[in-house]
Amino acid sequence: MALLAAPSAQRRAPVRLVAIADVHGAYPQLVALLQRIGLIDARRNWVGGSTVLVQTGDLIDRGAESRACLDLLMALETQAPRKGGEVIPLLGNHEVLNLVGQLAYVTPDIFKTFADSGSEKRRQRAYGEYVKFLQAHAGHGHALAPPADEGKRAKWMEAHPLGFVEHRDAFGPKGKYGRWIRTHHAVVQIGDGVFLHGGLSPSFPVPGITQLDDRMMAELPVFDAVWQRLVEAHVIWRDMTLPEAATFASEEAAWLSASGGAALPVADTIKQLGDVDHWMVSLDPDGPLWYRGLADTPDQTLLDAFSAMLARLHVRYMVVGHTPQDSGEIVPTFGGRVFLLDTGMLPSVYDGRATALEIQNGHFSALSADRPAVVLPAPPMGE
């Protein structure tokens, strides 16, 4: 069945739709699941025909094979349309964290997958650039100071393992994964269902699905412009993490003000960087990529307000990930109006299992790589 062209707009429901939530680098589990449910063959090529696959974000972080998961989904996104199908990758909070330089969940094993024979030379060059940058700001009251001994140098190297520089480039606006992820939508409506990473709070201002998605997609180019302007103004170093950069930029502005100097030409840009958690919906703890209320709040507490929100948005149900279910099972909640898809696919962290939600001809089922399908209750029809 033909779908509307713009992923953020309302689409018709396909004959078969499959949704998969948080993967977190669990590559073998993802492959086994996709093979079991008939979407890829033994060579990991698309054989799903006209099926639409929605991946609700968090392909990456925590698991060492995060990069392999990215490569697989990128390939399937290209292959599926040739067979009449479609792959719709959505933004998760971890995709956004990587794009903006919040790297707390990027492990040394993940960085290692970006390393090559030239990585040590690049790391040494980056270290030299970093030292020169700090030396140029010496005496400006920064907590960060040029490494003064071998111990501090070794600590920097530990915090920037082989592959770090390549990882940052790959997730930058011009990088292989950065370019791709920046095309992802945050929320998509297919038929009378809405798919996204965390969920929508009844108290969160949502003018409409398309409008919300448009706003969130527009944020990342703005962030990129803010970052680039501060790098070019020598206020931050290009490979700083976001917390480092925000602190350093704020300290630089404060030092200049205290020393009686003129305000920095990029003072407003520094403020934007410091306030990023407030102006980016993508980083808002109550926003669509982070909200856990649909998983953590008792149904009856939110049911009336949530049902009213669905009615206002003209949707029947919501499919979300983000919050791992201890049972390792897909959980229908809110009277069948919400499907919680995160079943802890990465076994080393969550000890869960790989599952998928299948919606076919109005029937809802939980699929997995190791057991028969389980029929789930369909969402109630709107009143």
> pLDDT (tens digit, 0 to 9) for every residue of the chain, 383 residues total?
233 334 444 678 889 999 999 999 999 999 999 999 999 999 999 999 999 999 999 999 999 999 999 999 999 999 999 999 999 999 999 999 999 999 999 999 999 999 999 999 999 999 999 999 999 999 998 998 888 789 999 999 999 999 999 999 999 999 999 999 999 999 999 999 999 999 999 999 888 999 999 999 999 999 999 999 999 999 999 999 999 999 999 999 998 888 776 677 898 999 999 999 999 999 999 999 999 999 998 888 899 999 999 999 999 999 999 999 999 999 999 999 999 999 999 999 999 999 999 999 999 999 999 899 999 999 998 65
- Which pair of tokens denotes residue 190? 């297919």
For residue 136, the tally of other CB atoms under 10 A from its CB is: 11
Q: How far apart are CA 343 and CA 354, in angstroms?
A: 7
Q: How far apart are CA 322 and CA 287, in angstroms?
A: 12
Cβ contact 225:47 at 8 Å: no
Residue 76 in domain? yes
Cβ contact 46:80 at 8 Å: yes
Residue 20 in domain? yes
Residue 138 in domain? no
CATH number at residue 304: 3.60.21.10
Q: Which string of DSSP letters, residue by residue, matches 288-329?
A: TTT--HHHHS-HHHHHHHHHHHHHHHT-SEEEE-SS--TTSS
Residue 110 in domain? no
Q: How far apart are CA 186 and CA 293, in angstroms?
A: 18
Residue 34 in domain? yes
Q: How far apart are CA 238 and CA 122, in angstroms?
A: 14
Q: In the prediction, which pLDDT does 6 show?
A: 41
Q: In the prediction, which pLDDT does 2 show?
A: 32
Residue 382 in domain? no
Q: In the prediction, which pLDDT does 381 show?
A: 82
Strand partners, 274: none
Q: In the prediction, which pLDDT does 145 show?
A: 84
Q: How far apart are CA 282 and CA 287, in angstroms?
A: 7
Helix (H) or strand (E) holding 358: strand 355-360
Longest dimension (CA), the chain: 71
Domain membership of residue 350 as a residue range: 16-100+176-201+288-376
Q: How far apart are CA 216 and CA 287, in angstroms?
A: 10
| Sign of the dihedral defined by the CA atoms of residues 26, 180, 281, 338, in that order | negative
Residue 50 in domain? yes
Number of domains, the chain: 1
- Percent helix, strand, coil in the chain (nearest 5)? 40, 15, 45
Residue 91 in domain? yes
Q: Where are the beta strands (DSSP E) in 47-132?
A: 52-55, 86-89
Q: How far apart are CA 319 and CA 195, in angstroms?
A: 5
- The residue assigned the tokens 């009449």 is 84
